[in-house]
Amino acid sequence: MGVVLGSFAPDLFALIADLEFASVNLVVAVFIWVMIYPMMINVDFSSLKKVGQKPKGLCITLVVNWLIKPFTMAALGVLFFEYVFVGLVDPETAKEYIAGMILLGVAPCTAMVFVWSQLVKGDANYTLVQVSVNDIIMVFAFAPIAAMLLGVTDIVVPWETLLLSVVLYVVVPLIVGYFTRVSLLKAGAARVESFTTAIKPFSVLGLLATVVLLFGFQAQTILSDPLVIALIAVPLLIQGYGIFAVAFLWAYLWRVPFATAAPAALIGTSNFFELAVAVAISLFGLNSGAALATVVGVLVEVPMMLSLVAIANRSRRYFDTAAEPHG
């Protein structure tokens, strides 16, 4: 639907694309906010202090995101665009594609993780901690790791984009969700559950609307050069499924409960595409191969993540029988 609408009404999508501040599209931000708000109501701040009793899930998230994922993405980019696909893409453009994939690999997800966590019935409180710690590390680690892997030292990190995204996608819905929860609890815990059940469909609609918009924004690119899109998608998909397998299997072997293990694996797999796209544009230009690669990352991520959610849910019974109470 996004591709069809984007091809028939390109001016409309161009107008929506221009509604941004600090490289954050405001319409997409609203839809993502609609996705996340219902989940934030389930966050119980009184239970956050217990997270320290279960450090394994947080350990998996941090190791996968910062010690494995950026480097495997760089390796896959080089493997495919300097060896497997050599001759299909000119060398200079190939380097830009690799750069874009590296930027995706160094930017762990901030917002959509809450959607994936809810779809696997993950621990909302633990997911919040995982995302929060990731965001803090990203502020300090994104630029150095990206610069090292890209081979440049003058990388420009759009701090406005980074900070605004964290505020919009985590801080604001968390605060509003907290006050909503406090208000609902006055009528009893059952009121919280009934309210979140009632507004849960809006979360799904927000996800679908976001996907339609993202595909609509890139409709012309998808239709004009589908082969390049497919070439870039191959290593990105291998990276995504591979990282998920590493994190999920590690959690299983470490006897981590499913409600913690599934979000840990999904956080490691998904990307902070807003930041990756913004940095690619600032470093290489709007029409560069790097920018295109980050956009392809956006296009393949949601279908891939939904398939991983399905895989995780079907694997739940294995964790329920193997996990320790404090894994």
Q: For 93-149, how does the pLDDT look when each residue is reduced to its tens digit (9 = 90+)? A: 888 899 999 999 988 877 778 889 989 999 888 888 888 787 778 878 888 888 888
Share of the chain above pLDDT 70, in %: 91
pLDDT tens, residue by residue, 142-195? 888 888 888 764 556 667 776 777 777 778 888 898 899 899 998 888 888 889
pLDDT for 159:
75
- For the chain, which residues make up each domain, given as ranges? 2-322
Residue 20: its H or E element? strand 20-21
- Cβ 242 vs Cβ 269: under 8 Å: no
Q: Is 18 exposed, middle or buried (0-12, 13-18, 19+ CB in 10 A)?
A: exposed
Domain boundaries 2-322, corresponding CATH code = 1.20.1530.20
d(CA 40, CA 15): 31
Percentage helix, strand, coil, to 5, in the chain?
80, 0, 15
Both tokens of 10, joined, read 């390109």
Planar angle of CA 289, 134, 136, nearest 5 degrees: 100
pLDDT tens per residue, range 273-317: 777 877 777 677 666 788 788 888 888 888 999 999 999 999 998
Its pTM stands at 0.78
Q: What is the mean pLDDT of residues 207-222?
A: 80
Average pLDDT, stretch 41-67?
80
124 close to 112: Cβ distance less than 8 angstroms: no
pLDDT at 172 (0 to 100): 84
